[in-house]
Chain A
Amino acid sequence: MADAPTKTARAEWGTRFGFLMAMIGAMVGAGNIWRFPYVTGNNGGGAFILAFLTLLFLLAAPGLMAEVALGRYTGKGVIGAFRDVVGRGGLVGLGVVVLLVNVALMSYYSPVVGWTLYYAIHSLLFTFTGSGFDPTAFWEGLLENPALMIGLHTVVMGSIAAVLALGIRRGVERLVVYAVPALVLSLLVMTVRGLTLPGATEGIAFVFGVEWEYLTYSSTWITALGQALFSTGLGWGIALTIGSYLREYDDVPLGGGVFTAVGESSIGILAALAIFPVVFATGLEPDEGANLTFISLVQVFPEIPLGGVVAVFFFVGFFLATYTSGLLITEVSVTTLSEETRLSRIQTVLVVCGGIWLLGIPSAYSVDVLDYLDFVFGNWGLPLATLAIIGVIGWKLGPERLRVLSVNRNAGVYVGPWWDPLIKYVIPAVMLFIVAYFAYDEYGTPEMIGGMVVLVTFPLIGYALMSVLEGRDRPGTAEPAGGDD
């Protein structure tokens, strides 16, 4: 499609494969690798998969289509896209809300990427298969070493800045077209190794065993809802940003919706097939969360044949999953700010990555801060951002208008009117439910108070900021957001 006509000088994905890998790379993160498998096993196995699949097709895929379509339709970053829809004024501040949530999210995600980088490096050094290695001491040693944690956070943000500075096509796309297939290959290698271990079938039975009564539990559906919506990155502004670099002749529903939602979940399934045979073959507890990855799994690598090599594949793959997510989360702010200011792309990258680095220091310094922010932004910040994006599409632009003008334009599959009420009513209602549910569940706790602060202050900050800025003449952009592509 290199010959396809373009309407602006803005950067575009060089290939459709690059766009698809960017979508998958952005959405597959730590949550898919270690959370999805054990959440499945703890919530009825096959019953949970059915609930998850239903919500994936009912909510996540249509929602992603809407977000990507808005990006392609406006050809702009988050704030520019909101301005196109709501006109100039304080309501553009809803775009600022999305941006603030993204920056906050990345500030504590960067240290997590740092953990995976540290483990990837040590897997390459075969540290985990060395004699006398203590996984718990190693893990605690990392978390209790602020200098090391801040150093890793610095390396992560520095390298992300370097890739983003190269631009969309030369930086982001060139990385993701290799990183995502490498992640899949890594998990495949571990799956093959795991399935050949004695006792591995227990892991399969744990994840895929069907306990039908779980379909009648509300907890199963709420967990599946969270996994389906947040593991696909719906409403974070990432799909909008990636979609804004699509070419006129690209398809939205098939690649931006169906493939992204199902493809990234497929990697979660692959992670289940990779991790749980090993977990059960070696008698580990399956519901250890982050400890499962960073402590339990590490202790079994020396015990299995070729364990050192398997550890390399696993941790390098895990690092690639978290790194590509971090890269694309940061790109949301870079694209938006480079459009909204007179700064060049490189200057914007330095400002954004520098700002995130600074904000991330408390999370790098203390894992308690990281956990607190993760809970607050995971349960209130992300639903708020999703509510802003899907709400603007559903209630201001109108889903039918977006569908006839953009979603079905050059589409690989036709999207019918069934899509409109999902965007206008169902997804916003689900987001409001999530916010209310966690407020009720965490009533009176510091987490709930933090969540309420985010819910109230972020929209106020956005509204006030854009009310002032939109009253002035907007500066022109120094260069297209994609930089030197």
Chain B
Amino acid sequence: MALTAEVLAMLAFTLLAFYGVAGWALTRTLRQESRKVEILRHQDRMDTYSPAALEELREWIEENPDDPRVDEARERYNECVDVLRTTDRHFYDWSDEETSRLEPI
């Protein structure tokens, strides 16, 4: 029995959708771990948020000043800002211009 083009197409799509995504996620996350290890060997601290995520964290703190976890959020924000200012290697794609604009909350 020969496989139809539709079956072959679905087989190819399935392999790509599952193994492609799983392989991409596995490779990317293991590479990121290696990079983190390398950064932490060079310096004892590392930036904890990407530019988009840190911006969102700042907005959340400003919009929720009375939240019971706002102090923790502020601490995390300031920690990231401090690390970005005091270290030379960053995990996320922070530019010098972006880091110079950051202020603790």
Contacts known (A46-B10, A400-B60); A412 close to B32, Cβ less than 8 A: yes
* B48 and A409 form a contact (CB under 8 A): yes
- A405 vs B61: C-alpha distance when bound (angstroms): 10
* B14 and A269 form a contact (CB under 8 A): yes
* B29 and A401 form a contact (CB under 8 A): no
B contact set with A: CB distance below 8 Å: 1-4, 6-7, 10-11, 13-15, 17-19, 21-22, 25-26, 28-30, 32-33, 36-37, 40-41, 44-46, 48-50, 52-53, 56-57, 60, 67, 69, 72-73, 76, 91
Chain B contact residues, majority secondary structure: helix
List 5 A-B residue pairs with CB atoms under 8 Å apart, sorted by A's residue number: A1-B36, A201-B2, A266-B22, A405-B72, A411-B53
* B44 and A5 form a contact (CB under 8 A): yes
Name A1-27 residues within 8 Å CB distance of B: 1-5, 15-17, 20
A410 cross-chain contacts in B, Cβ below 8 A: 36, 46, 48-49, 91
B33 cross-chain contacts in A, Cβ below 8 A: 1, 15-16, 250
Say how far A139's CB is from chain B's closest CB, in angstroms. Answer: 30
Residue A209 at the chain B interface, CB threshold 8 Å: yes
A contact set with B: CB distance below 8 Å: 1-5, 15-17, 20, 45-46, 49, 53, 199, 201-202, 204-205, 208-210, 249-251, 254-255, 258-259, 262-263, 265-266, 269, 400-401, 404-405, 408-412, 414
Contacts known (A1-B36, A205-B1, A409-B76); A404 close to B60, Cβ less than 8 A: yes
B14 cross-chain contacts in A, Cβ below 8 A: 46, 49, 208, 269
* B50 and A1 form a contact (CB under 8 A): no
* B53 and A409 form a contact (CB under 8 A): yes
A53 cross-chain contacts in B, Cβ below 8 A: 17-18
- A369 vs B46: C-alpha distance when bound (angstroms): 53
- A461 vs B97: C-alpha distance when bound (angstroms): 57
* A258 and B67 form a contact (CB under 8 A): no
* A408 and B40 form a contact (CB under 8 A): no
* A404 and B29 form a contact (CB under 8 A): no
Residue from A3, A45, A208, A259 within 8 A of B41 (CB atoms): A3
Say how far B51's CB is from chain A's closest CB, in angstroms. Answer: 9
* A204 and B53 form a contact (CB under 8 A): no
Say how far A378's CB is from chain B's closest CB, in angstroms. Answer: 24
Contacts known (A259-B26, A269-B14); A209 close to B48, Cβ less than 8 A: no
Say how far A303's CB is from chain B's closest CB, in angstroms. Answer: 19
- A45 vs B14: C-alpha distance when bound (angstroms): 11
* B6 and A209 form a contact (CB under 8 A): yes
